[in-house]
Structure 1
């Protein structure tokens, strides 16, 4: 995929665009109401430029079988990705735009990849390159976000419905909300079998208290979801057991009583959308 090295990457969100199609004047993902094109206008980079720049991926191990990493200095939105080790192969959850030799060596040492799954369009990064480098593994994206895929390569697997088992013990749950196709990953083996959610920012962890979460159409532009959306998210989470929630950025995690904390947070959200408080 030599052409991929020179394919344009939006500097604001870090998403790579197909080298086989005409480049738009602005990134559709950033010009959408959930994000914003920077004040100084649309800017592009390439993977070659990233690799030749001052960037590196920083890794942290959270628990047996779970590693997180992000790119420093910040590229795009600054999200982290996760590598999940299972007895049936490894999963890359979410994605970052830097895939340098050091990162490739680390991933190979951890067992390579069997699949990639990405929560929503802001984190699509250069998933075509990740897939190609690690054996053309499938990239699972919910079909409701198909229009946001800026490089629809042969390894993208669009799926439909409410759940999809990626590997045994690792299940995608379609929640919608932030994006119509927003998905999270339930990892059953986490926390000695108590389970964990990897949520991107489909469910956004409160980095101040680490005990509450929120859901929004847009976080930077402060656009909430409707009560019906939040009810649906709560209903789709109800069958799943989980102790922890790992969000899309460093320190965005609930490490204890995750399910109870998410349920409380969503009910609080619904209350403030629907109740009139005479003291406010």
Structure 2
């Protein structure tokens, strides 16, 4: 039986004879059901029309993205390290070429995902790499539609993954939204991998924070302040968002501070924008 994939968000469901009646990720205020209705595909069908592209972003960091773009269009990030590689966020497409290339880079010892929009085919990825543990925050447990023993729900505000890598719960976009701090990134000055928990905007000196990006629903000031405060204790020079060009290349920590201040001022001042 096929494990159906939602074509709007890439979420994979357990094997079944027929597609699900609905996708709980799309049928929710932060995402959307396309105008043409909910659509479904399978991993096998996806492999015939798409492939994954790789890019070396900086020493020890590789981007992996599906082309042509599928569903939300995010790219995953692979941190390469002697202690074991970590996949940050996930993709719906996994094929033999992707497995071969990643194995050549040292495989995957752990998967960590920022929020439910990027759960996609996480179970397929885990199984392809020796049942690598999948770290998800327990606050988003309800969005897991394909349970698996590899899924490890973590709690609290921080989870260390060893060797200068840690997950930080920020909340905001989702209750369990998290970022990954990589102390060795940016030539040892630190990098923050954020998905779209902290989203890089068109002017890449700035970032933003939203409850829903496609539906343009903002976060309240207190939630933005909580995201900013959650990452304040760690050092990072560079910030990588969810997409290929979502990079704040330098002074990223100050960009988060400035952006939070600008955002809070804009939504708190009744005269703003007049």
TM-score by length of 1: 0.95
2:172 matched to which residue of 1?
177
2:26 matched to which residue of 1?
30
Runs of 4+ in 1 over 4 A off after TM superposition: 20-23
Matched, 1:213 2:213: no
Report the CA distance between 1:42 and its aligned residue: 1.0
- Alpha-carbon distance between aligned partners in 2 of 1:57 and 1:278, rounded to the nearest angstrom: 43
TM-score by length of 2: 0.97
Which residues of 2 match residues 1-280 of structure 1 at below 5 A?
Answer: 6-19=2-15, 24-51=20-47, 53-206=48-201, 208-277=202-271, 280=274
Gaps of 5+ in 1: none
- Alpha-carbon distance between aligned partners in 2 of 1:278 and 1:258, rounded to the nearest angstrom: 25
- Alpha-carbon distance between aligned partners in 1 of 2:17 and 2:185, rounded to the nearest angstrom: 41
Quick one: structure 1 residues 63 and 264, their matched pair in 2 at CA, closer, same or farther if it must change by over 3 Å?
Answer: same
- Alpha-carbon distance between aligned partners in 1 of 2:272 and 2:43, rounded to the nearest angstrom: 54
- Alpha-carbon distance between aligned partners in 2 of 1:195 and 1:221, rounded to the nearest angstrom: 32
Report the CA distance between 1:24 and its aligned residue: 3.4
* CA-atom RMSD in angstroms: 1.4
Gaps of 5+ in 2: none
Indicate if the aligned counterparts of 2:266 and 2:272 stay in contact, CA closer than 8 A: no
| Equivalent position SS for 2:87 | strand
| Equivalent position SS for 1:30 | coil
Report the CA distance between 1:278 and its aligned residue: 6.8
Report the CA distance between 1:259 and its aligned residue: 0.2
- Alpha-carbon distance between aligned partners in 1 of 2:228 and 2:69, rounded to the nearest angstrom: 32
Quick one: structure 1 residues 268 and 279, their matched pair in 2 at CA, closer, same or farther if it must change by over 3 Å?
Answer: closer
- Alpha-carbon distance between aligned partners in 2 of 1:10 and 1:275, rounded to the nearest angstrom: 40
| Equivalent position SS for 1:28 | coil
Quick one: structure 1 residues 23 and 55, their matched pair in 2 at CA, closer, same or farther if it must change by over 3 Å?
Answer: closer
Report the CA distance between 1:54 and its aligned residue: 2.1
Report the CA distance between 1:23 and its aligned residue: 5.2
Quick one: structure 1 residues 70 and 279, their matched pair in 2 at CA, closer, same or farther if it must change by over 3 Å?
Answer: closer
Deviation string for 1:44-103 (max 9, x for gaps)?
11111111x221111111111000011011111110001101221100000111111110
Deviation string for 1:135-187 (max 9, x for gaps)?
10100000000000111111000000000012321100001111111011000
- Alpha-carbon distance between aligned partners in 2 of 1:261 and 1:216, rounded to the nearest angstrom: 16
| Equivalent position SS for 1:26 | coil
